[in-house]
Structure formats: C-alpha cells, structure tokens
C-alpha cells in the first residue's frame, strides 16, 4: 500500500520501505527508557492451542522495548489457567495472566455489579477493560498497545510501527490505529469493513448531510482493525463498549476526547490475516450477523449524541441508500480482486449485503425502542469513584492467582 497520500482529517503514516525495522526498534528502546511501554493481549484459551499465538509470542520475545505484557485470559478453567501461565512464561518481559473466569476476578465482577457498574456481557470488550484496570493499578506505563491473538501473519514490525507515533516524544499523537490490506489465502477478506462500514458511512453522509464525525470515521482506511496504541493517560476516561462495536466505539471515544492532530493511522503490514467469523445468516446472536448490528447501533448512538435526529423513515432511506452504494462498491472490489489475481465470491457477498441492509433496519428499530441503552462499560474513573479500593484489589487478585496457581506444562 505504499503511497504518501494524506486525507486531511487525520495523519497517515505509510511504510515507504526506506527504513530498517532495527532502526525503529532502537529508537523505541531509547524512548522506553523514560516512557515505559506495555502491551495488552486479549486471548481465549483456545487461541493458545493454535499456531498463530505461539508465533506471536516468539516474535514478541525478540522485542526489547516492552516493559510489561498483560494477557487477559477468557474461557479457561483452573487447569487451563495453569497451562496458560506456562505458555506465556517464555516472555522475557514482566507479564501477568489475568484469569477472568477465576473466583477472585468473579468476586471483583460481583462487587462491580453490586454498585451497578458490572459489564453487561462477557467478551473482548470486557477482557480489554479489565486489563486496562490492571495497568492503571500498576501506574508505571506511559504508552499502551493492544492487538489480537489470532493474527496468522504477525511479525514484530507491526507492533513497532503501531507504537512509534505515540511513543515518539516529539510527536503530538495520543492514539494510533493500524491499517493494512486484508488479503490471505488468495482471497480478499475484511467483509464487514468492505461491505458494511464503508458503504454505510457513505450512505449516512448522503442521507444525513455533512458530519464531522462521519468524516472522521471515513478517514480511517481500516476502522475495524484490532491494533491500536495510545498514551496511558487516556485509559482512566476510556469507555469500552461491551458488545462487538469495540473498535468503532474506541474511535468514537477518540473523536470525543482528542483533536484531529492527536489521532493517526499507521500502515503496519503489507497483508494481514486472522481467524474469520462466520456470517451466521440464521442466528442474529453471533458471527457477522451480530457484529453488523452492534456496529450500526454504535454509530447511530454516537450520531444521536452529536444531535442527529433519527426516525424509522430515516432508517428506511438509509437502508435503500446503503444497499445501492454497497452494490456499487462490490463491483469495484470484484474488479480489484480480478486485477490482482485474488478471489471474492460475488454471490455470497451480495447475500451478505442483503443481510447487512436488513440489519440496518433492525439496528434502527432497536435504537428507537431503547434510545437510552448504554452498552458501554463504565470508565475506570467512575469505577474508582464508586469503589476506590477496587483497582488495587484487582491488581492484588491477579498477583494472588499467580501465587496460588503455579504453572503446569502446557
């Protein structure tokens, strides 16, 4: 994706292939002497059993500028937690495995629930939120990065490029977002970004008129990427969505809290691949079906908070405009894939567009029926105000789990 185009909304940093990775890493090592850098890895135990995460850990073992790695572990029993501690023990950095399903963390969740601040549902959002609370308790990081644990094309250069803009002391950026081409196994991937988010934002601009917020989202080449880095000072006030609108939700928080000159996107890979979700046409509670609903609702809620007035007639017009724009873009994607010798299934993608169009209406109806719904987990500033001891107790619980449940061979 080598170019030097700037869209005028946010800064874009490209990989011009003119600088060795080792130079970037040396600079980051220099910055890390006074600005400690940490990494959050939200993981399912099942990901430890696949090749992607093992390769990621091998690559991270070569990174010398990281101060701390925090692994949020979901869907693990006691034996799996012990095995996970062995799995991550090869990391040369200070690291902690947070057993989110363990009794101590469950007790923390119960305390939050007692004061009305418990997360609405389990998932990646809650995993990341808990890891953020732990890092706030550690109080020793200046920069924090986050990326997924199922990246099959991972190399340590992704992390270096992602971190560089927010770690550089001479730059003003407080949040960076990764972008890349979603191509793998001879296919053009990234269906939700291509078939839902891009045409939906175009349709919103067409039906609702100019919006600085929509222009901000459209400036991101891959708004759904799970790779981001930020200054640690942002963490206490960050509101993490508990549903599948996590990435859009974080960008909305950046729009609320930061100026355009403080947000950037970075080209971190030539190609990127990871675990793919099923569309789940028949089940709206899972897969891309669920994801599309949550993303639509996240955008509608944010626009309403900015003063946009919605009605079911607006959503009908939006659906029709989206559908036409999505089909137009599909034609372009099909031509692009043909020119580059990769595949897309035109029939299946049109079916997916039809599903997403219906979900725009369903998301709109849900928004109209529940306009005050708050899917965000409360930020840690509010949690601290409600229970000033809980952040310290969270850190103590993670340490106690490490003491009481020693590692066993993976």
Token output for 279 = 């569309």
What separation in angstroms does the CA of 184 have from each of 45, 153, 180, 190, 320? 24, 9, 12, 10, 31
pLDDT of residue 342: 93
* 284: pLDDT strictly greater than 60: no
Q: Mean per-residue pLDDT for 278-290?
A: 72
pLDDT of residue 20: 96
Strand order in the sheet with 94-99: 11-13, 263-267, 175-179, 228-231, 143-146, 37-44, 66-74, 94-99
Q: Is residue 408 part of a domain?
A: no
pLDDT of residue 259: 79
Terminal Cα distance for the chain, rounded = 39
| Coil, strand or helix at 13 | strand
Contact yes or no for 236/384 (Cβ under 8 A): yes
| CATH code for the domain in which residue 256 is found | 3.90.550.10
Q: Is residue 410 part of a domain?
A: no
Count the Cβ atoms, other than its own, within 10 Å of residue 179. Answer: 22
Q: Mean per-residue pLDDT for 37-57?
A: 96
Q: Give the range of the structural domain holding residue 279, as residue numbers without chain letter.
A: 11-403
> For residues 390 and 354, what is the distance between their CA atoms, to the nearest angstrom?
46
What separation in angstroms does the CA of 214 have from each of 177, 220, 225? 17, 10, 17
pLDDT of residue 49: 94
Contact yes or no for 253/177 (Cβ under 8 A): no
Q: Is residue 132 part of a domain?
A: yes
Using one digit for the tens of pLDDT, what is the confidence trace for 137-161? 999 999 999 999 999 999 999 999 9
Whole-number average pLDDT of the chain? 92
Contact yes or no for 300/310 (Cβ under 8 A): yes
**Number of domains observed in the structure of the chain:** 1
Farthest CA pair distance, the chain: 59
Using one digit for the tens of pLDDT, what is the confidence trace for 174-205? 999 999 988 888 889 999 999 999 999 999 99
Token output for 356 = 């997403």
Of the candidates 381, 117, 129, 372, the one whose C-alpha atom is nearest the C-alpha of residue 240 is 129
> For residues 126 and 120, what is the distance between their CA atoms, to the nearest angstrom?
9
Q: Is residue 313 part of a domain?
A: yes
Give percent above pLDDT 90 in the chain: 76
Q: Is residue 387 part of a domain?
A: yes
Query: Which alpha helices (DSSP H) does 49-102 contain, by range?
Result: 51-60, 78-88
Q: Is residue 304 part of a domain?
A: yes
Token output for 95 = 């690291």
Q: Is residue 231 part of a domain?
A: yes
Contact yes or no for 12/18 (Cβ under 8 A): no
Q: Is residue 409 part of a domain?
A: no
């Amino acid at each position: 994706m080598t170019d030097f185009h700037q869209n005028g909304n946010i800064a874009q940093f490209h990989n011009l292939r003119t600088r060795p990775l080792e130079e970037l890493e040396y600079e980051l090592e220099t910055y890390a002497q006074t600005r400690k850098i940490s990494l959050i890895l939200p993981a399912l135990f099942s990901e430890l059993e696949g090749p992607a995460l093992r390769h990621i850990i091998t690559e991270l073992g070569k990174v010398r500028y990281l101060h701390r790695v925090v692994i949020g572990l979901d869907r693990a029993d006691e034996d799996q937690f012990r095995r996970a501690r062995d799995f991550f023990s090869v990391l040369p950095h200070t690291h902690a495995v947070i057993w989110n399903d363990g009794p101590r963390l469950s007790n923390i969740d119960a305390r939050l629930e007692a004061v009305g601040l418990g997360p609405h549902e389990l998932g990646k959002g809650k995993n990341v939120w808990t890891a953020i609370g732990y890092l706030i308790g550690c109080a020793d990081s200046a920069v924090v990065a986050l990326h997924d644990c199922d990246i099959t094309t991972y190399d340590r250069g992704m992390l270096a490029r992602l971190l560089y803009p927010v770690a550089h002391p001479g730059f003003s950026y407080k949040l960076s977002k990764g972008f890349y081409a979603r191509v793998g196994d001879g296919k053009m991937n990234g269906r939700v970004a291509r078939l839902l988010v891009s045409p939906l934002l175009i349709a919103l601009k067409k039906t609702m008129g100019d919006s600085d917020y929509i222009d901000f989202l459209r400036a991101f080449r891959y708004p759904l990427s799970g790779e981001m880095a930020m200054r640690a000072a942002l963490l206490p006030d960050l509101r993490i969505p508990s549903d599948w609108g996590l990435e859009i939700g974080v960008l909305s928080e950046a729009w609320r809290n930061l100026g355009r000159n403080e947000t950037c996107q970075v080209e971190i890979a030539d190609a990127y691949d990871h675990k793919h979700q099923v569309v789940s046409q028949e089940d709206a509670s899972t897969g891309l079906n669920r994801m599309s609903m949550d993303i639509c609702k996240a955008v509608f809620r944010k626009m309403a908070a900015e003063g946009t007035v919605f009605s079911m007639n607006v959503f009908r017009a939006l659906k029709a405009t989206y559908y036409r724009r999505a089909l137009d873009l599909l034609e372009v994607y099909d031509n692009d894939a043909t020119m580059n010798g990769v595949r897309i299934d035109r029939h299946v993608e049109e079916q997916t567009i039809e599903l997403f169009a219906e979900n725009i209406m369903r998301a709109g109806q849900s928004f109209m029926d529940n306009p005050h719904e708050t899917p965000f987990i409360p930020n840690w500033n509010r949690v601290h105000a409600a229970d000033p001891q809980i952040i310290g107790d969270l850190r103590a619980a993670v340490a106690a789990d490490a003491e009481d449940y020693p590692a066993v061979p993976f």
